[in-house]
Amino acid sequence: MSPSISFSPSLRLSLCSLLLASALSAQTTKPAAKDDLVVLDRIDVIAEKAKNFSLPLDAAPATGSRLGLAVRDLPASVSVITQEMMQLRGLRTAVESVESAVGMTGGTSFGSIPTYSTRGFGGNNVTILRDGIRQNTASQSSRTVDSFLLDRVEVLKGPSSLMFGEGAVGGAINYVSKNPDRTRRGELLASIGPWSSYRLGVGLGGPLPSLNSQPSTLSYRADLVFNSTGGYQDRNSQDYLGLAGALGWRVSDRLSLTYFTTWLSDSVESYYGNPVVYDAVVNTTVAGAQPEVRLFNAATDRFVNPRVDPAARRTNYNILDNYADTENSFNRLRAELTLAPDLELRNETYVATQLLKWRNLETNTWNPLTRLVARSSFLHIYRDDVLLGNRLDLSLRRPLFGLTNRFLIGASLEHNDQIRGGAPGNVPTVLSSVSLLNPDVGRGPVAREQKTSRVMVGTHAFFAENILELTPALKLVGGVRYDHISLQRDTLFNPTTATPTPFATFKKGYRPLTGRAGLVWSATKTLNAYAAYSTAAEPVSQLVGLALANADFSLQKGRQFEVGLKGSLLRDRLDFTFAYFDIEKNDLLTSTLDPTTGVRISQQIGSQKSSGVEAALALSPADGWRIELNAAYTAAEFGAFNENLGTGVISRKGKIPSNVPEWVSNAFVSKRFASGLTFSGGPRYVGERFGNTNNSVIAKAYTALDAAVSYPWHRATITLRGRNLLDADYEPVAGTTMRRLADPISAELSLRTSF
């Protein structure tokens, strides 16, 4: 099967803005008369430190606060990965970019859906946003994003419901689009790599020609990127096309309008991982249990001699006619109005769409009895989402009780209309077993997607933030948010009985109140200390999957206490951050036994908690040098939590949640010589992680090393980059009975030029 990308009507809106901007930019403007020329004094332009390091303490990330606070004034941990950093480090995707931030792990856990983990929480506990807008939970709408389209990636740690509503107990990741350029510029990227991989990106921006003699009030930015790879694994080709644009209009000195549009399409032949081959299993719940040759039970067993057979390393056990095809679009209109010198009004109206069609066989496990690979979980998935929203806020700078104060109040309104579907209930989900080394995988069952439900989620929220300078050195920073969430789920088709008529409607509502409060103390002009308390709330399952069985359950609550330091030393050549955090998530849904009847029931009495420290520094010891180091230690465990065994329950109290490493660290060093020749690179270390809540399946620790050499040639930069130079055999995301291994050692040649 060869995946292909087809254009659809959803692309037209994105194309219109880009074609119009490009056409206008191509027009020739009348040159200025000689008498009109003004000779300016020479100025030296120095690259901003904020663009070259992930600790821009004086930058104001939109993900941390809507008040425009600098990182050093935020009582929270925020990392920023800029486009300049992505280029220097060779970060090709949003996942690779996020992994460079302190304490972050990421990867593709299955199929083609990226996932992240931080501070002891992962999956849907980490919210993924596009320009501050969440389309859905990570497992529902997260897709591959090429870093060429982004201005930066911002990572906010800990409970973040104040900024983004329900969810975000572990943190939030914000993909930020490029703004229109006021200076005419362009860039071109081309690269080739192993396994028939190539990548091409082109971007243009600048002011649009003025229709009169006055300076232009219009500016634009347009980017297009395409990449393709055959994949290291057999039948794992991937094609990706992204198109992004922005059009800005400075209507007056007080009013500006900016329109952003992004259209993404990807087509993937999915690889779900290699089956873990093992000789036997041991029941960890039975004292003195002896090895048994039988199927593995993740809830109770550990493997004896688990491994991935080297001869099957590149084998893909998915069906021949598998596919995962998606189209996503994001359109946003931002208006900014200065009502008075101390009063500003902002409004954003946005529309986001998602269309996904998915056909895969997702589970392949080793059977030690038959010595074959058992295959199951044939899935048809259909998703068609439309998100409409508007966010309005008003900010005021005015003294309060004679103290310097900045205040913001706002409201948002969203409607998310989501169609879900799958295969009819009479389609088999278990297929025939195949051999480990020469599998005859065949094709999947004959089936078409069937729309099964429509889920409508309406949210209106009110939020407020404030920063009050109690003294010149002490600031009180806080905010509160109230959400009113209403959900309606209409069943369109019963896959079990093949009933084509609606037979149930489910409604549910939530009204969470969340917030953040903190103190920031400026010990010196360049050193701040802070302490903060923040909260979050999320449902017991994804809102789109919430059903009648969960109607009686309340929201899960998350809270974090954090203290830290942020500062600059050595005449601003060194920036650093340090944070200690303590997070607890309560009201987890867990299985228990009724003390009277012995019947298994579900109750919200579970908890999960984590604590740890994070440290990062960015250093420029001398001209041409860049050094970045970061490390995070996390101790995570379940509190009161039980797992359903089918025949009973088992306590997981004290166990470590899946895919949470104790240690994560990154090091990156770059040296640029006078000739322009640059050497750069560094290792990344991720500690052991468990693949199950029984903590009996271990993904081993790994160190991955990347390095590059770059040389300027005319106006271009040529880079030869080596990836995974230690040829580490590792899992980016811990698996259980399957391991999805990272690519082996490889090299990539790229050319980038600006014009």
141: domain range? 9-24+48-754
Reduced to 3 states, what is the DSSP secondary structure of residue 311? helix
Give the Cα separation of 148 and 199 in Å (integer). 10
309 lies in some domain? yes
User: For residue 140, what are its two tokens?
Assistant: 């529902």
pLDDT, residue 595, reads: 63
547 lies in some domain? yes
Q: How many domains does the chain have?
A: 1
34 lies in some domain? no
Give the containing element (helix H, strand E) for 162. helix 161-164
Tell me what percent of the residues of the chain surpass a pLDDT of 90.
Answer: 76
Three-point CA angle 207, 212, 217, nearest 5°:
35
Read off φ and ψ for residue 599, nearest 5 degrees: -75, 140
User: For residue 706, what are its two tokens?
Assistant: 């990347």
CA-wise closest residue to 442 among 320, 305, 548: 320
Give the Cα separation of 657 and 588 in Å (integer). 13
Edge-to-edge strands, sheet with 78-82: 78-82, 150-157, 171-177, 126-130
Residues 6 or more apart whose CB falls under 8 angstroms from that of 98 comprise: 81, 104, 106, 116, 153, 155, 173
4 lies in some domain? no
149 lies in some domain? yes
347 lies in some domain? yes
Handedness of CA 41, 46, 47, 50 (dihedral sign): negative
Handedness of CA 117, 121, 123, 129 (dihedral sign): negative
Give the Cα separation of 697 and 737 in Å (integer). 9
Strands 150-157 and 126-130: unpaired
pLDDT, residue 345, reads: 98
2 lies in some domain? no
Residue 158 falls in which region: left (phi positive, over 0), alpha (psi -120 to 50) or beta: left
The 3-state secondary structure of 444-504, one letter per residue:
CCCCCCEEEEEEEEEEEEEEEEEEEEEECCEEEEEEEEEEEEEEEEEECCECCCCECCCCC
Give the containing element (helix H, strand E) for 351. strand 343-367
Give the Cα separation of 589 and 641 in Å (integer). 8
Give the Cα separation of 586 and 608 in Å (integer). 7
38 lies in some domain? no
CATH of the domain at 407: 2.40.170.20
Give the Cα separation of 238 and 230 in Å (integer). 7
Low-confidence ranges of the chain (pLDDT < 50): 1-7, 9-47
The residue type at 717: T
User: For residue 418, what are its two tokens?
Assistant: 């989501």
User: For residue 392, what are its two tokens?
Assistant: 């309005």
Give the Cα separation of 348 and 330 in Å (integer). 13
